[in-house]
Structure 1
Amino acid sequence: MNVEEAIRTRRSIGRVKQDPIERSAIERLLEAAAWAPSHHNTQPWTFIVMTGEGRAKLGEGYARVAAASMPELSGEELEARLAKERQKAYRAPVVIAAACSPSGDPCAVLAEELAAAHAAVQNLLLAAHASGLGAIWRSGDPMYHPLMQEAFGLSGEQRLVGFIYVGVPDMAAPEPKRVPPAAKTVWVE
C-alpha cells in the first residue's frame, strides 16, 4: 500500500478482536512513529505499550479520574462505576499511551513538541492500517486529567497525547466523510 492510499483509506476502528498481536508488529508501528518530523529533531515522544494485565495501568487511571469526578457516589454504586471505567482499558489487546516528553532544548517550543508527538501518533495509525490492523486514537477529558498523568508517571511539561487501541479489526471501516480541500483552502498569489 502506498502512502497516499494509506492516508485515504485509514479509518478509526473502534471495535477489534481480542486476538493477541505479535510484539514485532507493534515494534514496527513504533518504528514508523519514530520517523515523525520534529522541530530541531527533538523527537519528544514516549510510548507506553500495554498488553495483557499491563492494561490495568490505564484502567486504574480511568477509575481514579472517575472517582474524583463523582464524590457523591459511594458503596456499590461507586464500585460498579469504577469497574466500568477500568474495563475501558480492555477494549483492545494492545493499548499504546503516547506522550509528549519535551526535550528541554531551549529552541524548542512546547506547541511544536506537542505537534511532533501528534505527528508520531498519525504515523503509528497509518502503519497499523498498512499492516492490516485496526486502530483508534482515543483521548477525551480523562486523558488530560492530572490523575491520569500521574498514573503514567508523567511530570512537569510531559503530557499524554493519545491512547491508541490496536487489534485485528472486528468491524467494517466506516465510510469516509471529508470536506473537499478547496472549501478550506485560500490561495494567495
Structure 2
Amino acid sequence: MSITSLLGKSCRPGRFEQKEVEPELILKLLETAVWAPNDGLREPWRFLFVEGEKGREAMPLHREAPAHLVVIADAVDDMHKQEEDLAAVFCLIQNMRLLGLEQNIGMLICMDDWIHDSSLRQRLGIRDHERIAAILDIGYAEIGDTTKEIHTSRLRISEC
C-alpha cells in the first residue's frame, strides 16, 4: 500500500472488533512511529498502554475500544519548546495511525476537556512536568467496516 493511498483513507473505524490488541504489536508500531521530527532529538513523549476491564476503570469514557494508548507530552516552561514538542507528538500520532492501517488497526484520537482533569491525571500517574496530549482508542476495524475515502473541501493557498 502506498503512502498516497494511506493518506487518502480515514484511519478511524466506525466500530471496533472486540478482539485483543497485543501490547507487543503496539510497541512495534511505536518503535517505528517515534521517527517523528523533533528539535534536538528530545523525544518529548511517554505512553501508557491501557487494556482490559481494570485498565478501563481508570478511563470510564472509553469502554468501546479494546485498547487505549495515553500519549503524554512533556510540559516545559519555554512556550516555544512546548509548542515544538506538542507538534512532534502529533506527528508521532499520525505515524502511528498510518502504521496501524497496515495491520487493519484503527485509532480514534480523543482530546476532550477531561484530558486536563486533575483526578484523571492522578489516576494515570501523569507527572507535574507532563500533560496528556491525547488518548488513542485502538482496535481492529470491525469486519465489513472498511476505511472510507476522505473527502476534503477545496484547498486554499494565500499569497503574501
Normalized against structure 2, the TM-score is what? Answer: 0.85
Residues 97 and 57 from structure 1, CA distance in 2 versus in 1: closer, same or farther, beyond 3 angstroms? farther
> Residue 161 in 1 paired to residue 130 in 2?
no
Moved over 6 A (4+): none
SS in 2 for 1:20: coil
- Aligned-pair identity (%): 22
Alignment map for 1:86-97 (pairs within 5 Å)? 86=60, 88-97=61-70
Residue 130 of structure 1 and its aligned partner are, at CA, apart by 2.1
Larger-gyration structure (1/2): 1
1:24 match: 24
1:123 match: 95
Separation of aligned partners in 1, 2:29 and 2:20: 15
Larger deviation, residues 47-56 vs 33-42: 47-56
Q: Which amino acid aligns with 1:2?
A: S
Residue 109 of structure 1 and its aligned partner are, at CA, apart by 0.9
For 1:101, which of 66, 71, 74 is the aligned residue? 74
Residue 178 of structure 1 and its aligned partner are, at CA, apart by 1.2
Q: How many residues align?
A: 158
For 1:113, which of 72, 85, 99 is the aligned residue? 85
Residues 55, 90 of structure 1: 8 Å contact kept: no
Residues 10, 149 of structure 2: 8 Å contact kept: no
Superimposed CA distance per residue, residues 86-113 of structure 1 (whole angstroms, 9 cap, x where no aligned partner)? 2x332111110101025x698x711111
C-alpha RMSD of the superposition? 2.4
Unmatched runs of 5 consecutive residues or more in structure 1: 60-85
2:46 match: 46
Alignment map for 1:131-170 (pairs within 5 Å)? 131-170=103-142
More strand by percentage: 2
Q: Which amino acid aligns with 2:151?
A: K
Residues 58 and 115 from structure 1, CA distance in 2 versus in 1: closer, same or farther, beyond 3 angstroms? farther
SS in 2 for 1:25: helix
Residues 57, 151 of structure 1: 8 Å contact kept: no
